[in-house]
Every structure is written in structure tokens, then in C-alpha cells.
Structure 1
Amino acid sequence: GNATLHLYPHFEPLRQIEGVTDYLTTEISTSKQKRFNLVKFIDTPGLVDGDMQYPFDVNRAILWLGDLADLIFVFFDPIGQALCKRTLNIVEELSNDHSEIMRFYLSKADEAGDESDRQRVLMQIVQELCKRPNLNRTGFEMPTIYVPNMNQKGSSCVNQIEEVCQDIEKTINQTIQNTLNSLERDCDQIATLVEEKLQKNMKTSSENLQARFRGASFGLLGVFIPFLMLTTYLISTQQKVMKDILGENILDTLGIYLGPLARGWKAIPVQYSTYILYFIFGFTLIMLLIARYVSRTKLTLSRKEKRHLSEIREFVQNTVKKKKESLYSDYLKQSVADHDL
């Protein structure tokens, strides 16, 4: 159970179906004939009607495996309960989403009697299938297959098992080509996503710089203008104190540049001076709050993260994508004759 999930981690979601892992087993074949090393067969339990209780949700498990499979083989056993309602229900449900990859076979055809018996069994199965709308389709086929070396009765039944092998091999070829094509698309997509992320980070950095500049501008205004107003206020109202602090020369220089503002303070009645000071402090507080608000920055990538993303982009473009070309070449060498290359 757990060893199977460890060997094939893409089956890990089966663990969510209670009881399944206790009934998972794996058998490995070392044969390389007919590309057998590229095939993984998943044998699901046979279904029967009646009060038979399975130790796990067998329907849910089969439907999940159907979403994962490249081909779904439905074997109708002429000896067993080939037409049980439970089997037909799950076959119909699988056909809703996977009809194009489903194949129907009459297995153990050599044990179905003579030719007339086999035809009768086939007609009975086809009639039952056609009663269900999702299974009633044009060009329905049901080849007869059996294991040749187990044909103990010497039946003359036509064995179409070679067509099954060809169908599997064709699917392998399509899967390999799709995988290689997908590899190139994925590499381009990864490179594009990395580039977009780096561009977005650059844009965010630029926006952060602008935000800091705006914050600094409002902060300077919030400090400089109140400072200027307080200075002119003190020059106009506390001239003697300012002369003792700054000296007469500096005070005269400030008076030259700030004289108009200082005279403006003298025009304001004394009883309103306190309100003006409150206004200055309020203005300072508001400007500093605005400065803090507009200087907010967004999170950006560190140098290490940017370097890591750049390395990923270079790797998928210059290593993985080029590897696809060599893999495709190896695939073609195995698929066609040397003189065709």
C-alpha cells in the first residue's frame, strides 16, 4: 500500500479514500517487449451486484483513476457477471468525461463457446450498453481477445489482442509527443512568468522610489513651512530674545529675507496668535501623516531572489529546452528507420 504510493507519488490522492491503501499492490515486469516498460496497467476490482460490500469506496477510486489514465479498458467477461448493473453504471459515468479514451473488449473470448455463442454474447452486451444514452454511440466496437497460451480448448476464435497492443503503442507515441511538446511550452511559460515577475518587480521598485520621493516632499513641507512661520513669529514678537540667541547680524539678515512675513505677524491681533500657533502645529501633523501615507511601499524581491529567478530562466531556456531536442531525436531514432532520418 504505502510502498506503492511512495513508488508512484502521483497516486497519493488515493490515500484520501479511506481503506484503499490497504488493498494497493504493485507488480513490476522487467519485459521491454512492445514498450512494456513504458506502460503502467492499473487493474481495478471486478464489480458485482447484490449485497456485496467493498472495504472502500470502489466507485470513487475508479472514477479518480479514470481521470488519470491515458486509456480505459473495459473487459466484459462472458463467463462472469459482465452485464451487472453496478459495472454498467460506473462505465456510463466514466463515459461522461472520457468516452474518447474508453475501449471495450470481450475478454476470455476463447471460453465463450462456438462462434454462434460468441455472437449471442456480443449482441447481448451491445444491447445492454446501447440502452444507456452515454454508451450508445456511432462506430461502437468490441474486439474479442484472450491470452493465446491459455487457449487450452484450442478455440478457433479470432484473437484481436494484437490490436490492443497497437492501440497501447499508439497512445504511448502520442503521449511522448505531447509530453515533449508540453515540455517546450512549459519552458517558454516558465521563462515568460519569470520575466513578468522581474518586470513587475522593476515597476514596483520604481513606484516605491516615487512613493519615497512624495513622502520626503510632504515631510519637508510639513517641517520647513512651520519652521519658517515659527521663525518669523519669533522675530516679530520676541525680537530681543532672538537677538540674544542668534546675534544681531544673523537677525538682521533674517529680517531682510523674512521681513514681509514678520510684518504679516504684526498685522495679526495678539489674541489670535495662539490660534495661529495651533494651526501651525496642526498643519505640521497633517503634513507628516500625509507624508507617511504617500510613502508606503510595496514588497519587492531581494537581490538573492532576483538572481535565483534569473538562474531559473536561464536553466529552462538553455538546458531543459535544449534537452527536449535531444529527447525528440532519440524518440525519432526509436520510431523510424535510420535511412528516414
Structure 2
Amino acid sequence: MKYPFDVNKSILWLGDLADLIFVFFDPIGQALCKRTLNLVEELNHKHADRIRFYLSKADEAGHESDRQRVMMQIVQELCKRPGLNRTGFDMPTIYVPNMNSKGSRCANQIEEVCKDIEKTINQTIQTTLNSLEKDCDQIAELVEDKLEKDSVTASVNLRAKFRGALFGFIGMLLPLILLATYLVSTKSEVVKVLGEDILATMSLYLGPLARAWQKVPAQYSQYVIIGIVGVALIMLLIAKFASSTKPTLSRKQKKSLLEVRDYVQNTVKSKKQKLYQEYLKQSVADHDL
């Protein structure tokens, strides 16, 4: 029979995912064919702790001496493979009892198989639930870390805005001071427009700058003005770059993260035992409970 996929690779892939790997050797069929042994050897090489060997349909193998001969033949063939050669080779005999046939004297160890499966299920459940608890703690830590980083980013943004506002204020203030100083230095024109009282107030605060401005030679005044305007423009550019901020979480995003943290800590984590019981009810029959 041909399949639209590689059967060997599929079996090996399933072996990587399975918690237990059962290999059933049929004493009647071709249990020791090369293809089967190649797969078993590769699975045993990667998952020796998970693989189990069983002689299936043991009740159809004849008398006890026949069964022993079949088992010895299988074990010998397996031990010929370097990847399967091991000491204390264990191969329990199992079969599905038939109510219509006479009772078989062959030891049926299928109950041991069921116990092994149940034990593995319990261990897997416990491991999964423990992992769930750790994942809940990890999610809470990630949320706290993200909120803490967002708080730090918000503080950095606030300082950046303050620096930008400071440089912007200086950039806007320099031209205004330049204009006011120029007006104070030309008293006759200012008096006509603003009046003597306002001029007196401006002279009180800007008098030193006005006197310094008057000391500047006329041929250099234009260069001084250009220099002050240039400094003001530089300050405004610095303000623009200094006030750049990083993206932060919105209130809605913060609320969502806090809800996730509270849910996994107070709801999911607290349901560990309940989830364990529910999983058992789904996996095991009621009479076994």
C-alpha cells in the first residue's frame, strides 16, 4: 500500500512526540522484517527510556515451549542490531482474551501495560500542571517587567519633553530679548508707540543689554543679529530632537496586561487541582476512579 507521505518519517516524528512507544511483535506475521527492525533500532537509539517491547497475540503462539522459542528468536534478532543489544531484555506477553475460546495458560501481562500507561499519564499530567503553574508565574513576571519598563520609558519621555521645552523656550526667548533690546535702544520711537511707563519698565530689566548693544559697532551689529538668530534656530532644532519620545503603553493596554496577570495568578493557577481531577475523569473510566 502506498501513502502520500513517508511512513517511516511519520513514525519517527510520532516517536518524538509520544510519552511511551510500544513495539508489538506478532509471532505469526513478519515481525522481524528489515524495515521494522530499522525503525525500532532508530526509535530505540533516540528514546530508549520510552520504548517497550511486547509479544502480542501470545495465546496464538502455541504451547509454552513454542512461545519461549519465538521469544528467543525475536530477542536474538534484536540483539544482532548494535542499537538494540541490551542486557536483561524484557518482553512481556500480552493478548486480548476471547470469551468464546477456551482459557489459555499463557500469562497475560496486559494489566501491567495498562498500569504503565496509567502511571505515565499521571506523570505527564503532573508535569504539565507543574509547567502550567510555572508558566503562570512566568507570564506574571513578564507583565510586571513590561509595566516596569513602560514606567521607566514614561519617565525618560517626561525628562525629554522637559529638555525640549527648555531648549525651545531659550530658542524663542533669544529673538524676543533681541527685539526688546533693540526697542529700548531706540527710545524715541518706542515712547510714541508704548509710552514712557512701559519703556521705563523695559529699561529697568533690559538696560544692561541695551547698553551692551549700544557698544557694538554699527558695522558688526548685523553679524551679531545673525549670530543670535542662528543660536536661536540651533536651540529650536535641539529642542525638536531632545523632545523625541519612545512609544509607551496606553491606559487600555496597561489595563489589559493587568487583567491578564490577575487572571493567570488568581484563576488559572488556583485551578491546578481542579484541572487535574477533570483530566483524570476524561482519561480514566469512572469505575477505575
TM-score in same-fold range (> 0.5):
yes
- Letter of the 1:268 partner, please give it: V
Q: Deviations over 1:248-306 (max 9, x none)?
A: 32223222222222222233333333332332232222222222222222222222222
Question: After the TM superposition, which residues 250-261 of structure 1 pair with which residues of structure 2 at under 5 Å, given as runs?
Answer: 250-261=198-209
Paired position in structure 2 for 1:147: 96
Determine the C-alpha separation between the residues in 2 that align with 1:57 and 1:202. 53
Instruction: Give me the identity figure in percent.
Output: 70
Instruction: Give the letter aligned to residue 243 of structure 2.
Output: S
Which residue, 191, 206, 226 being the options, matches 1:278?
A: 226
* SS of residue matched to 1:274: helix
The structure with the largest alpha-carbon Rg is 2
Structure 2 alignment gaps of length 5 or more:
282-289
Cα separation, partners in 2 of 1:247 and 1:160, compared to 1, 3 Å: same
Q: Which amino acid aligns with 2:169?
A: L
Q: Which residue of 1 aligns with 2:59?
A: 110
Select which of 241, 244, 253 maps to 1:293: 241
Match of 2:258 in 1: 310
Give the structure 2 partner of residue 196 of structure 1: 145
Aligned-partner Cα distance in 1 for 2:164–2:182: 27
Distance (Å, rounded) in 1 between the aligned partners of 2:162 and 2:128: 50
Counterpart residue number, 2:17? 68
Give secondary structure in 1 for the equivalent of 2:52: strand
Q: Out of 173, 177, 185, which is 1:228 matched to?
A: 177
1:113 is displaced (CA, Å) by 3.7
Q: Tell me, in whole angstroms, the C-alpha distance in 1 between the residues paired with 2:233 and 2:44.
A: 70
Runs of 4+ in 1 over 6 A off after TM superposition: 329-333
Distance 1:118 1:245, change over 3 A: farther
User: Which of 80, 96, 99 matches 2:48?
Assistant: 99
TM-score, with normalisation over the residues of structure 2?
Answer: 0.82
SS of 2:5's equivalent in the other structure is coil
- 1:130-172 alpha-carbon deviations (Å, 9 max, x no partner): 3444433454422121112189586533222111111011112
- Would you say how many aligned residue pairs link Structure 1 and Structure 2? 281
**Residue pair 1:145, 1:161 contacting (<8 A) in 2 also:** yes
1:1-341 alignment, distance < 5 Å = 53-149=2-98, 155-236=104-185, 238-327=186-275
